[in-house]
A = this chain, B = another copy of it.
């Protein structure tokens, strides 16, 4: 089964030695390697009645590739550890592999290794590697008072889609029934469910942010307020968000925008004089102090702390 799936993974030019030896060898000509890992577990990070194997693969790859891009690096490779229960057939594993592969293809990364084991719960461990191309990494620690805060990509759409799935009048565990119910949704709601099942990070954001002079960058995986809090702590600054820059629309609430994760939008801080294009929506500014406020209020006390963030 493993060799059948591995045969479906094309190997890019930076793969000097692909799957099949004790380890893979990658060309990282920069002389530095960027590395990140996520562990995803069925029932906690995905549900097989909500998402097919292909979409689970796309999402698992996307969230790790986005982390590499958020460092200002070019993703080169994934390693995948998969734990699979015996109840799943080979087609399920192949679809998972195809999803991982196709998301890698978006950024030109290769799947160079991994491990497959039997497990009671579906488990997907993803390590993503990248190359910095001679440039400094875009960390979370460079934000300075006076910078503007801008976001590239959708916010809150995955959270809104999750809310629809949670409220669906369909029994848990019925994969086909969910699919049928989703198919009958209005287009706007179907798009939100799709955003939850298969996020589409704007991977060009890393390169764009660098060109625009970003002082800090991250991908929004846990929610805008929470993730910007990481920049505040790492940079020793405060961030003031403007609610007017985050208007509820299209089934996405103000709470979704502030606390919804998993869209893997990119949030960065930029010098005030940076000429940001329209794709980079200015949502706030960096000031002296600590922590994130929205229109002067501390979030989490205003009603948007109940989505499990």
The answer to whether A23 touches B44, judged by C-beta atoms less than 8 angstroms apart, is no
The answer to whether A71 touches B119, judged by C-beta atoms less than 8 angstroms apart, is no
The answer to whether A127 touches B17, judged by C-beta atoms less than 8 angstroms apart, is no
Q: Which of A136-175 contact B (CB under 8 A)?
A: 137, 139-141
The answer to whether B32 touches A25, judged by C-beta atoms less than 8 angstroms apart, is yes
The answer to whether A123 touches B234, judged by C-beta atoms less than 8 angstroms apart, is no
Q: How far is the CB of A214 from chain B (nearest CB, A)?
A: 13
Counting CB contacts under 8 A, is A297 at the interface? no
Q: List the one stretch of A48-56, A78-86, A92-100, A287-295 in contact with chain B.
A: A78-86
Chain B residues closer than 8 Å to A305, beta-carbon distance: none
Among A36, A67, A113, A219, the most chain B Cβ lie within 10 Å of the Cβ of A36
Least CB separation from A127: chain B residue: B127
Q: How far is the CB of A208 from chain B (nearest CB, A)?
A: 16
Q: Which of A216-232 contact B (CB under 8 A)?
A: 217-219
Q: How far is the CB of A219 from chain B (nearest CB, A)?
A: 6
Counting CB contacts under 8 A, is A27 at the interface? yes
CB contact between A71 and one of B22, B28, B38, B217 (< 8 Å): that residue: B22
The answer to whether B39 touches A125, judged by C-beta atoms less than 8 angstroms apart, is yes
Chain B residues closer than 8 Å to A28, beta-carbon distance: 28, 31-33
Report the separation of the CA atoms of residues A113 and B114 in the bound assembly, to the nearest whole angstrom. 17
Counting CB contacts under 8 A, is A258 at the interface? no
Q: A22-B67, A32-B16 are in contact. Are A39 and B123 (CB under 8 A)?
A: yes
Interface string of A116-145 (1 = CB under 8 A from B): 111111010101111010000101110000
Counting CB contacts under 8 A, is A243 at the interface? no
Report the separation of the CA atoms of residues A245 and B17 in the bound assembly, to the nearest whole angstrom. 33
CB contact between A117 and one of B31, B36, B45, B112 (< 8 Å): that residue: B45
The answer to whether B39 touches A83, judged by C-beta atoms less than 8 angstroms apart, is yes
Q: How far is the CB of A82 from chain B (nearest CB, A)?
A: 7
Chain B residues closer than 8 Å to A35, beta-carbon distance: 23-26, 77, 79, 112-113, 127, 129
The answer to whether B118 touches A23, judged by C-beta atoms less than 8 angstroms apart, is no
Report the separation of the CA atoms of residues A127 and B20 in the bound assembly, to the nearest whole angstrom. 16
Counting CB contacts under 8 A, is A34 at the interface? yes
Counting CB contacts under 8 A, is A185 at the interface? no
The answer to whether A37 touches B119, judged by C-beta atoms less than 8 angstroms apart, is no
CB contact between A123 and one of B23, B83, B118 (< 8 Å): that residue: B83
Q: Which of A99-120 contact B (CB under 8 A)?
A: 112-120
16 contacts between A and B (CB under 8 A): A21-B141, A22-B36, A22-B70, A22-B140, A22-B218, A24-B35, A25-B32, A28-B33, A37-B80, A39-B82, A41-B117, A41-B119, A44-B119, A120-B121, A123-B125, A129-B129
By Cβ-Cβ distance, the 6 closest A-B pairs, closest first, are: A39-B81, A125-B125, A23-B36, A22-B70, A37-B79, A127-B127
